[in-house]
Amino acid sequence: MEERLQKILSRHGVASRREAEELIQAGRVTVNGRVSQLGMKADEDRDEILVDGNPLAQTQQRVYIMLNKPRGCLCTRRDEKGRKTVLDYLTGCRARVWPVGRLDLNSEGLLLLTDDGELTNALTHPSHEVEKVYTVRVAGEDIPGAVRLLKGPLELEDGPAQAKRVRVSRDDGDRAILEITVTEGRKHLVRNLCAEAGLEVKRLIRMSEGGLELGGLRTGCWRYLEEGEVRALRRAAGLK
């Protein structure tokens, strides 16, 4: 059966779909001896697919990891400036995994990493509306007014956006702790929503994604997901 080339590459653990597209655009992927183009389809049972001249590895058991990301590290596999990345914390893990989505440099909390391109794409695709819950420490002159704004649609620089739920878990006058749930993966979404509502974010922690809870996992530590957790994530992402 023919499928898009980037989907085949991600299923074989070569890279995420986004990274697979970059490999194709760089001319590093060939199909039956011809350099592939973005959008090309292939049948892995019939066609010879090579990456840098090497055949695809046989599919193997996928790896699913939860990391409690600390502040100050990047959600990428490598950094040209030599800064610390989330992969530096995966001591003892030999699998070639990538982050599912992003947490910015100063954000922390639950980050999923995997070599499953299908699940990565499903969890990050906006149409699946996978819930992500954040605990956000904020400061502002009018916390109640800001919360009211957060509960309605706001016009951001990259278009309108809205939190799915906002709950105040602590209010100390000009400071508060909010629980904000979103279903988009837009860059800096929670920070931008808060800024538009007149709040300064002091600390931002992702507590859950797709129903999977961070729990008691300590900052900078990681663990493999259990089979039931993976099944629950697939259901949340609309996969069988």
What the block records as the tokens of 51 is: 């990456």
Cβ neighbours, 10 Å, residue 153: 10
> Domains of the chain (ranges plus CATH)?
3-55 (3.10.290.10), 64-127+212-236 (3.30.70.580), 131-209 (3.30.2350.10)
Q: How many CA atoms are closer than 13 Å to the CA of 120, on its beta-carbon side?
A: 29
Mean pLDDT over all residues of the chain?
92
Are the CB atoms for 153 and 166 separated by under 8 Å? no
CA separation, residue 10 to residues 14, 20, 61, 166 (Å) = 6, 7, 13, 35
- Beta strand 108-114 pairing with 200-209: parallel
CA separation, residue 20 to residues 9, 55, 88, 168, 204 (Å) = 6, 15, 22, 41, 31
Q: pLDDT value at position 240?
A: 76
Q: Report CA dihedral (191, 193, 197, 203) to the nearest 10 degrees.
A: -20
Q: How far apart (Å, rounded) are the C-alpha atoms in residues 149 and 163?
A: 10
% the chain with pLDDT above 90: 69
Q: pLDDT value at position 12?
A: 80
What the block records as the tokens of 172 is: 């100390």
Q: pLDDT value at position 51?
A: 92
* Minimum mean pLDDT range among 21-25, 53-57, 192-196: 53-57
Sole residue written with tokens 């259990």: 226
Residue 182 has pLDDT above 70, yes or no: yes
The string over 100-111, giving b where at least 16 C-beta atoms fall within 10 Å of a residue's C-beta and e elsewhere, is bbbbeeebbbbb
pTM confidence score: 0.76
Q: Which residues contact 20 (CB under 8 A, 6 or more apart)?
A: 5, 6, 9, 10, 14, 29, 117
Could you list the active site residues?
104
Q: Which residues contact 41 (CB under 8 A, 6 or more apart)?
A: 2, 3, 4, 5
CA separation, residue 99 to residues 15, 89, 162 (Å) = 11, 12, 25
Residue 181 has pLDDT above 90, yes or no: yes
Cβ neighbours, 10 Å, residue 169: 10
Q: pLDDT value at position 154?
A: 95
% the chain with pLDDT above 70: 99
Confidence of residue 176 (pLDDT cuts 50, 70, 90): very high
Instruction: Give the Cα-Cα-Cα angle 172, 132, 139 (nearest 5 degrees).
Output: 20
Confidence of residue 49 (pLDDT cuts 50, 70, 90): very high
The enclosing H or E element of 171 equals: strand 165-171
Q: Average pLDDT of 98-114?
A: 95
Q: pLDDT value at position 60?
A: 63
Q: Average pLDDT of 74-102?
A: 89
Cβ neighbours, 10 Å, residue 197: 22
Q: Average pLDDT of 107-116?
A: 96
